[in-house]
Amino acid sequence: MSREICVYMDELEPHHLDKIAAVAAAGGMTARFFRTGEEDAARACARGAEVLYSMSRKPLAWAEDLKWYCSASAGVDDLSARPEMVPAGCVVTNSNVYGLTIAEHTVMVALMLLRRMPAYEARVREKRWQGGLPIRSIHGLEAVMVGTGQIGRCIADRFHALGAAKVTGVNRSGRSVEAFDEIVPVDRIDQVLPGAEMVILAVPGTDRTVRLLSRERIALLRRDALVINVGRGTAIDQTALTEALNDGRIAGAALDVAVPEPLPADDPLWTAKNLILTPHVSGNFTLAYTRDRNVESFCGDLENYIAGRPLAHRVDLARGY
Amino acid sequence: MSREICVYMDELEPHHLDKIAAVAAAGGMTARFFRTGEEDAARACARGAEVLYSMSRKPLAWAEDLKWYCSASAGVDDLSARPEMVPAGCVVTNSNVYGLTIAEHTVMVALMLLRRMPAYEARVREKRWQGGLPIRSIHGLEAVMVGTGQIGRCIADRFHALGAAKVTGVNRSGRSVEAFDEIVPVDRIDQVLPGAEMVILAVPGTDRTVRLLSRERIALLRRDALVINVGRGTAIDQTALTEALNDGRIAGAALDVAVPEPLPADDPLWTAKNLILTPHVSGNFTLAYTRDRNVESFCGDLENYIAGRPLAHRVDLARGY
């Protein structure tokens, strides 16, 4: 039996399949491709496959001899929470390719908040042609970026390109990262929150990031502060943030993630004041660029795998990313 | 009687007044400042003033010996249409300082259109947590920028910074402008419209720009084309654009300007499909950066005026900009 790669993904286009098939064949492996609705065939393939590449976790349950699982998502918090989902001895990699699309989302909602777009949209829905609200700019802005991984760096690069005055990165170790003007370790985050015009969160969902922006830290923020979360909903005390928005203790927020997802229809977050809420759409596979980079990332590691080299995008499930 | 400068503007802050007063005093002139509600005093000052600096055109009617009128706006189409508003022999300058704020507005609405934000906002208003729409990116985008003045250049710079593949500028003469990958003269615009993913208009309101994006040219656009107008509403055949949007013949539009303004409550534009409408807010005086640059621009020309040098921001009312 040949060494098989099971690819279970709806979003791939023919040129992606060709590329994966070619890299596999060059290494003496066979790639097989399945979509939603082809579960029986996918299950049969996954059972004996060495490698699995998917966004869905479902095929993990089918695998019996898996050596490597490549997650098409960046976040693997679900696997960290339930490591028994991954077969024993199986290496896990993720796909750090969402920076561009998440950074474009972040620039969009940052400008929408700074330029009072929710207020103008409300006026236009009432057919009122009335301008004049004071607005702000990314030019000259001082922002705090919590999370300095691929996503945080892509965001910082764009904020700098648009003239931001300072982007302070917050990460676990305090190690220097080129995209940022300054790095502060997360245990000193309380020192930078009171000065921030904008706080952006792009951290993985781990034990250490749960309620990182706690009620106490929300209370440190300026009245004109804006909060953006494009990482995991768990990173913010959502109840405290909703209250701060409704009480006008901060100026606004844009959340692409929430707890839980999907958000129940009766959750107070839906109607919080000065909130731009989006249904977890900043990343995903909806941008062609992201799909292309995702396949490139997998193929790069597939070449590593075939050559017996370490995989570039390996994650540590105990650490959570 | 001293040589007087009449400044009639609500939006200036004390440091702006100090700066103007200092430049005036250094040249042996006196600056006097008035706001809405101080019409009697402003009228008395304007009557004998040599120089007037205002956003409003009202004080022009009061002036009798005016040598120089500095318009705090960029557009002077109203003065071109009625040149008798300007006293005979009076030089007119404008304030080309709106590029940054208009470019940020343009980046915002471009991303909102590309990322299907109106559709997501509608879902969120219905409390539906549902992602998955195909989206596009400024990264790799090919855009056509109609108008290569200060505003068009600021937009092109930001699109390049965000990874746009190509920004083609369209101007009257076809003369090269550094911010653009290519320049096409406006009489050849029909050659570039069929290939454009996005068409952005930032042209002054002149006889030559009326219905520049005509019904025939709208018909040249791709089905996935997006149109943005941050210049003057007259530049687009608004009826034809509304029909194209409602019929799905183009993918979307973002208009910050309309005909007429304010838009009447029964205008079909309010409810056009896939349209982001804003009430002429992309420029204006609402951003501190814009106010600062406006005063700097005036003070620079005030130094020129005092020294007898040509004014840097002189406009030709017959040409319209």
- B299: which 2 tokens? 């003070």
d(CA B231, CA B151): 9
Which is the catalytic residue, given A57, A215, A249, A280?
A: A280
pLDDT over 80 (residue A318)? yes
- Report yes or no: B297 and B97 within 8 Å, Cβ to Cβ: yes
Catalytic center residues of B: 232, 261, 280
Q: Do A270 and B162 touch (CB under 8 A)?
A: no
pLDDT over 90 (residue A186)? yes
- B83: which 2 tokens? 């040149």
Pairing state of beta strands A29-34 and A91-93? unpaired
Q: Do A127 and B278 touch (CB under 8 A)?
A: no
pLDDT over 70 (residue B1)? no
d(CA B3, CA A225): 46
Contacts of A118 in chain B (CB under 8 A): none
Residue A286: the pLDDT is 84
Q: Is the peptide bond before A260 cis (omega within 30 degrees of 0)?
A: yes
Size of interface A-B (CB pairs under 8 A): 136
**What residue has token string 């951290």?**
A203
- B101: which 2 tokens? 């704020």
Q: Do B135 and A101 touch (CB under 8 A)?
A: yes
Sheet holding B182-185, edge to edge: B182-185, B166-171, B142-146, B198-201, B226-229, B252-255, B275-277
Pairing state of beta strands A142-146 and A91-93? unpaired
SS3 category, A147: coil
Q: Do B108 and A108 touch (CB under 8 A)?
A: yes
A128 Cβ neighbours under 8 A, 6+ residues apart:
B279
d(CA A133, CA B65): 36
What type of residue sits at position B213? L
Nearest chain A Cα to B260, which residue? A129
What's this model's pTM, rounded to 2 decimal places? 0.95
Residue B320: the pLDDT is 87
**DSSP-assigned beta bridge partners for residue A184:** A170
Contacts of A161 in chain B (CB under 8 A): 158, 161-162
What is the percent of chain A with per-residue pLDDT over 90, rounded to a whole number? 97
Contacts of B117 in chain A (CB under 8 A): 108, 278
**What residue has token string 């676990």?**
A172
- Report yes or no: B249 and B272 within 8 Å, Cβ to Cβ: no
Residue B285: the pLDDT is 83
What type of residue sits at position B110? A
Question: In angstroms, how far is the first alpha carbon of chain B from the final one?
Answer: 34
DSSP 8-state symbol, A92: E
Minimal Cα–Cα distance from A287 to chain B, Å? 5
Contacts of A129 in chain B (CB under 8 A): 258, 261-263, 279-280
Sheet holding B68-71, edge to edge: B29-34, B3-8, B51-54, B68-71, B91-93
Q: What's the whole-number average pLDDT of chain B?
A: 96
What's the pLDDT tens digit per position in B91-134? 999 999 999 999 999 999 999 999 999 999 999 999 999 999 99
What's the pLDDT tens digit per position in B48-92? 999 999 999 999 999 999 999 999 999 999 999 999 999 999 999
Please state which of the four CATH numbers 3.40.50.720, 3.40.50.450, 3.50.50.60, 3.30.465.10 is assigned to the domain occupying A3-97+286-307: 3.40.50.720
Q: Do A115 and B129 touch (CB under 8 A)?
A: no
What's the pLDDT tens digit per position in B148-188? 999 999 999 999 999 999 999 999 999 999 999 999 999 99
State the SS3 of B34-86: ECCCCHHHHHHHHHHCCEEEECCCHHHHCCCCCCEEEECCCCCHHHHHCHHHC
What's the pLDDT tens digit per position in B229-283? 999 999 999 999 999 999 999 999 999 999 999 999 999 999 999 999 999 999 9
User: Phi and psi at residue B55, in whole multiples of 5°?
Assistant: -85, -45
Q: Strands, E, within chain A: which ranges?
A: 3-8, 29-34, 51-54, 68-71, 91-93, 142-146, 166-171, 182-185, 198-201, 226-229, 252-255, 275-277
What's the pLDDT tens digit per position in A17-27? 999 999 999 99
Residue B286: the pLDDT is 84
Q: How buried is residue A214: exposed, middle or buried, by Cβ count under 10 Å (0-12/13-18/19+)?
A: middle
**DSSP-assigned beta bridge partners for residue B254:** B228, B276
Of B132, B139, B280, nearest to A131 by CB-CB distance is B280
- CA torsion, ordered A71, A73, A79, A80, to nearest 10 deg: 120
Q: Do A137 and B286 touch (CB under 8 A)?
A: no
Cα angle vertex A315, ends A286, A231, to 5°?
45
Contacts of A286 in chain B (CB under 8 A): 131-135
Cα angle vertex B43, ends B40, B49, to 5°?
145
Alpha helix stretches (DSSP H) within chain B? 14-26, 39-48, 77-81, 99-114, 117-125, 150-161, 215-218, 238-246, 288-307
Give span(s): CATH 3.40.50.720, chain B: 3-97+286-307, 99-277
Q: pLDDT-derived band of residue A1, with 50, 70 and 90 as boundaries?
A: low
Nearest to A9, CA basis, from A314, A321, A298: A298
Nearest to A129, CA basis, from B264, B109, B241, B229: B264
What type of residue sits at position A281? V
Q: Do B279 and A124 touch (CB under 8 A)?
A: yes
Nearest to A148, CA basis, from A194, A191, A200: A200
**DSSP-assigned beta bridge partners for residue B199:** B144, B227
Nearest to A146, CA basis, from A221, A41, A64: A221
Q: Active site includes A38?
A: no
Minimal Cα–Cα distance from A267 to chain B, Å? 9
Question: In angstroms, how far is the first alpha carbon of chain A from the final one?
Answer: 34
d(CA A138, CA B289): 11
User: Phi and psi at residue A144, in whole multiples of 5°?
Assistant: -110, 125
Cα angle vertex B62, ends B61, B63, to 5°?
95
Q: pLDDT-derived band of residue B284, with 50, 70 and 90 as boundaries?
A: confident
CATH class of B99-277: alpha beta
pLDDT over 80 (residue A274)? yes
SS3 category, B201: strand
Q: Active site includes A232?
A: yes
Q: Do B130 and A101 touch (CB under 8 A)?
A: no
- Report yes or no: A44 and A18 within 8 Å, Cβ to Cβ: no
Contacts of A139 in chain B (CB under 8 A): 100, 104, 289
The arithmetic mean of pLDDT across residues A22-45, rounded, is: 97
d(CA B157, CA B159): 6
Sheet holding A3-8, edge to edge: A29-34, A3-8, A51-54, A68-71, A91-93
SS3 category, A182: strand
What's the pLDDT tens digit per position in A132-155? 999 999 999 999 999 999 999 999
> How do the residues of chain B divide into helix, strand and coil, expressed in percent and rounded to 5?
40, 15, 45
DSSP 8-state symbol, B193: G
DSSP 8-state symbol, A320: T
Residue B77: the pLDDT is 93
Signed CA dihedral, B79, B81, B83, B84: sign only: negative
